[in-house]
Amino acid sequence: MKKIIAYICICLASLTAARAQSAVVGGQETLPVDSAVLIGRLPNGITYYIRHNGDQPRRAGFYLIRNAGSLLETDEQNGLAHFLEHMAFQGTKHFPGKGIISGLEKHGVAFGSNINAYTSHNETVYQLTDVPTQSESLLDTCLLILHDWSYYLSLEEKEIDAERKVIVEEWRTRRTSAVRMQEKTNQVLYQGSRYADRDVIGTLDVIQHFAPQSLRDFYHRWYRTDLEAIAIVGDFDARRMEEKVKTLFAAIPAVKNPEPRPFFSIPDNDTPRYVLATDKEAARSSLGLSIRLNDTPACERNRVAYLRESLIISFFNSMMRTRIAELARRPDAPFRHAEIAYGDLVRGYCAYNVNVSPRPGQEAAAWEAAMTENERVKRYGFTPEELERAKKDMLTALENGRRRGKANSRYAQEIQGHFLEGRPLLSPSDYYRWVKRLVADIRVEEVSDRAKKWNSPINRTLLVVGSAKEKHLSREDMTAIMERVEHSSQIRPYAVNTPSGVQRKLLDDAELQGGQIVKVRPLERFGAVEWTLQNGARVVFRHSASNKILVSSYSNGGTSVYEDIDLLPAAENAATMVSSFGVGDFTPDELRTLLTGKRVGCKVNITPWDEAIGGSSVAEDFETLMQLIYLRFEKPRFDEALFATLMQRNYAALQQYAGQPQTVMRDSLQQILHNYSPRFPAFNKAYLDKITLERLKYVYSDRIKDASDFVFFIMGNLKEENARQMVEKYIGSLRSEHRKEK
């Protein structure tokens, strides 16, 4: 019962804290709810959230959020929650048949991309997104659709029977190897709970044979006013919208004597469980340890302590990602991918997970490597340098998000979290203020301590999934490796990779020759100017109010210039692979360290028709972006060890996916669509064998050179004189061959 009470508190917390400023409750500050969100509860129990958002002009999103999903079904109703989702588009009181879809598509609101819904274990959400706000009648239509979804689905027998075939086909196409294996793991992961018995889509027997009245009964029993919220976000008058909601939705009847909405618990297990889920079509193997932990109660999530803990979790996950990524780049890494992270599981629960995808034949080594990293962080924690980098990255992302604004869908997700699970509903400015304040106060010892806390000895499940054709680790194998690692005396503290090179500047100015602009041509139609430099490079500059600086470029040619078919595999992969090797004198890890805290990104692309290089930054990091562009041209880095690692991964992926139905289908379609042209080779061993480091060097160095053949485009909030200086300094220093390719 106390679990039920905890979740009933969600709505109470929503209303009582809706206009509260920062206050002290039980010695803990409460977070203020976004004052721009109009929140209320109608007499029938419907909660509404309405927010004006000018960041997405002339668009709005309409959402119906239900605190009800497939867990509320009886065994005889298994699949009806998902079936109801379909029926919402098959006729309502004011929109018979396909009226909702046909009516909205006339206004460019398309089914699938804008008109959609989803059903999960605990909730069902209907959405109408990117709705134009210029038409008042269209907004009224969307309100009426939400109104009908709430209580007035037609649920006609002929429509129900017609939809059975649709859902049976959906059930059939979903039966992939991944789904089949997930069913097996869920039986063990959630053993003894309703989660083990519900996969949302249901069983064929129920889908094909349930009585229509059973669907209606389930609809009116659980899809009721006290368990739903209306969320509307967009570029409109919020107060006027609120009055419309009150008028339209207040008349929907409430269910008399509603039964409590239960919380679904998962029984504890003191002894670790083990599950082996294999399938003949499985493309890859994975090993995992999942440790189930209780989540923060919903009524405590409006407190500063909850936000602070979420930041600690984010830092932990971020620093572990960095450590694992460094390991994965080693040529001798026994795994393709690994992850050690804390995250959501199901409502009321989180999980600490150690997962690893081994290379073929290396399950034992991969599992030992993953468990060693888990033991390392448990014993020694993180270093101050690691946390400092993570903090800089987070604050950089925070600044970027602040400048970008927020889409309607993001606001809707936050509202959904607030209504269903009591998550904070902060305004962008309050979120920015609180995060900056809390980040500064978080100590490395706190983050390190979470590894000990989360590695609980209870509620553990060992999971192995993979091909039925291979031999996999047993419970005894995995346990023995874990015990050996736990008692190993060979594990040392993590050493931060901070070589002397990262103390240097990205680029020494002495290397730059520079080059003057020799021709200026106004482009009045575009409000821009074109500069031609001494080396022949052309640059188009346009000032804009955006603080984000965008740089792009192109040069005709691409892979189409190569008649040697054997070069094509290397040409198709040169940009991606060489970019992953670092740049200049810096390895990928050193480069990441050097760029910590900077809001800058640079990428190279080689298509069949052209080659391009560009990126983005904020104004204060624009020179760093120009340095990276220069280095990508003049000092690309080619790393034999990293190349070997990448190729090992590719060969392993090829081995795992070879012969899979999806692989055969993809390869066949590509051959047919390109008329069996040798310029579109299939991804196979022969393809990979043609990719060598020497060929990568040749293609990259041949494509990303000769500034005279490139046109650059720069746009952003830069003074023209500043842009000229950077262009002459960096683009003007690029070498030219004055070739003209087609």
pLDDT in tens, 400-459: 888 788 999 999 999 999 999 999 999 999 999 999 999 999 999 999 999 999 999 999
* Closest alpha carbon to 736 in 714, 713, 706, 712: 706
pLDDT band at 37 (very low <50, low <70, confident <90, very high): very high
Give the least confident one: 372-376, 493-497, 703-707. 493-497
Which residues share a beta bridge with 62? 128, 232
The answer to whether 208 and 73 are in contact (CB under 8 A) is no
The reported pTM is 0.84
Task: Count Cβ atoms below 10 Å from residue 591 Cβ, excluding itself.
Answer: 21
Q: Which residue has the higher pLDDT, 182 or 400?
A: 182
Task: Count Cβ atoms below 10 Å from residue 641 Cβ, excluding itself.
Answer: 13
SS3 at position 443: coil
Query: Would you give the distance in Å from CA 567 to the centre of its chain?
Result: 34
Residue 22 has pLDDT above 90, yes or no: no
pLDDT of residue 497: 66
Question: CA-CA distance, 583 to 639, in Å (whole number)?
Answer: 10
For 721-733, what is the mean pLDDT?
Answer: 96
Contacts of residue 453, Cβ cutoff 8 Å, sequence gap at least 6: none
pLDDT of residue 504: 67
pLDDT of residue 292: 98
pLDDT of residue 683: 86
Tens of pLDDT along 546-560?
Answer: 778 999 999 999 999
Cα torsion angle, 641, 642, 647, 650, sign = positive
- 517-523 vs 528-533, strand pairing mode: antiparallel
SS3 at position 51: strand
Structure tokens at 260: 């409590």
pLDDT band at 344 (very low <50, low <70, confident <90, very high): very high
Question: CA-CA distance, 238 to 38, in Å (whole number)?
Answer: 8
Task: Count Cβ atoms below 10 Å from residue 167 Cβ, excluding itself.
Answer: 19
Measure Cα distances from 381 to 225, 387, 391 in Å: 48, 11, 16
Question: CA-CA distance, 410 to 158, in Å (whole number)?
Answer: 38
Mean of the per-residue pLDDT values of the chain: 92
- Distance between first and last Cα of the chain: 73
pLDDT of residue 330: 85
pLDDT of residue 593: 85
The answer to whether 131 and 234 are in contact (CB under 8 A) is yes
Burial class of residue 388 (count of CB atoms within 10 Å of its CB; 0-12, 13-18, 19+): middle
Question: CA-CA distance, 655 to 643, in Å (whole number)?
Answer: 18
The answer to whether 291 and 460 are in contact (CB under 8 A) is yes
Task: Count Cβ atoms below 10 Å from residue 196 Cβ, excluding itself.
Answer: 15
Question: CA-CA distance, 185 to 633, in Å (whole number)?
Answer: 49
Instruction: Just give the CATH number of 509-733.
Output: 3.30.830.10
Quote the longest CA-to-CA distance of the chain: 82
* Closest alpha carbon to 63 in 116, 10, 105, 11: 116
Question: CA-CA distance, 360 to 286, in Å (whole number)?
Answer: 11
Which residue's entry shows tokens 């804290």?
17
Question: CA-CA distance, 178 to 281, in Å (whole number)?
Answer: 9
Beta-carbon-side half-sphere exposure of residue 388 (alpha carbons within 13 Å): 7
Residue 3 has pLDDT above 60, yes or no: no
Tens of pLDDT along 101-141?
Answer: 999 999 999 999 999 999 999 999 999 999 999 999 999 99
Q: Does domain 273-486 have CATH number 3.30.830.10?
A: yes
Report DSSP letters for 138-203, one per residue.
HHHHHHHHHHHHHH-B---HHHHHHHHHHHHHHHHHT--HHHHHHHHHHHHHTTTSGGGT--SS--
For 531-535, what is the mean pLDDT?
Answer: 97
Which residues share a beta bridge with 39? 49
Report DSSP letters for 684-736, one per residue.
SHHHHHT--HHHHHHHHHHHS--GGG-EEEEEES--HHHHHHHHHHHGGGS--
- Per-residue three-class SS string for 628-655: HHHHHHHCECCCHHHHHHHHHHHHHHHH
Burial class of residue 242 (count of CB atoms within 10 Å of its CB; 0-12, 13-18, 19+): middle
pLDDT of residue 498: 59
Cα torsion angle, 423, 324, 457, 269, sign = positive
Residue 12 has pLDDT above 60, yes or no: no
Measure Cα distances from 135 to 63, 141, 271, 333 in Å: 18, 10, 61, 58
Question: CA-CA distance, 109 to 478, in Å (whole number)?
Answer: 52
- 349-358 vs 517-523, strand pairing mode: unpaired
Contacts of residue 410, Cβ cutoff 8 Å, sequence gap at least 6: none
Task: Count Cβ atoms below 10 Å from residue 741 Cβ, excluding itself.
Answer: 14
Task: Count Cβ atoms below 10 Å from residue 270 Cβ, excluding itself.
Answer: 8
pLDDT of residue 18: 36
Map out the domains of the chain as residue ranges.
35-249, 273-486, 509-733
Report DSSP letters for 247-287, one per residue.
HHHTTSPPPSSPPP---------SSPEEEEEEETT----EE
The answer to whether 338 and 370 are in contact (CB under 8 A) is yes
The answer to whether 219 and 84 are in contact (CB under 8 A) is yes
pLDDT band at 242 (very low <50, low <70, confident <90, very high): very high
Structure tokens at 605: 């692309």
Residue 189 has pLDDT above 60, yes or no: yes
C-alpha triplet 726, 728, 729: angle, nearest 5°: 60
Question: CA-CA distance, 232 to 28, in Å (whole number)?
Answer: 31
SS3 at position 78: coil
pLDDT band at 505 (very low <50, low <70, confident <90, very high): confident
pLDDT of residue 516: 95
- Residue 67 phi/psi, 5-degree rounding, is -85, 60
Structure tokens at 629: 């562009």
Query: Would you give the distance in Å from CA 636 to the centre of its chain?
Result: 30
Which residues share a beta bridge with 230? 48, 64
Tens of pLDDT along 599-655?
Answer: 899 999 999 999 999 999 988 999 999 999 999 999 999 999 999 989 988 888 887
Burial class of residue 197 (count of CB atoms within 10 Å of its CB; 0-12, 13-18, 19+): middle
Task: Count Cβ atoms below 10 Å from residue 251 Cβ, excluding itself.
Answer: 10
Residue 345 has pLDDT above 80, yes or no: yes
Question: CA-CA distance, 226 to 255, in Å (whole number)?
Answer: 8
Question: CA-CA distance, 7 to 148, in Å (whole number)?
Answer: 27
The answer to whether 606 and 574 are in contact (CB under 8 A) is yes
Residue 79, by phi and psi: left (phi above 0), alpha (psi -120 to 50) or beta?
Answer: left
For 143-149, what is the mean pLDDT?
Answer: 97
Q: Which residue has the higher pLDDT, 659 or 49?
A: 49
Q: How many residues does the chain have?
A: 742
Structure tokens at 387: 């946390």
State percent of the chain over pLDDT 70: 95
Residue 75 has pLDDT above 90, yes or no: yes
Question: CA-CA distance, 227 to 224, in Å (whole number)?
Answer: 6
pLDDT band at 7 (very low <50, low <70, confident <90, very high): very low
pLDDT of residue 77: 96
SS3 at position 349: strand
Class assignment of domain 35-249? alpha beta
* Closest alpha carbon to 330 in 587, 632, 688, 693: 587
| One fold for 35-249 and 273-486 | yes
Residue 375 has pLDDT above 70, yes or no: yes
pLDDT of residue 503: 52
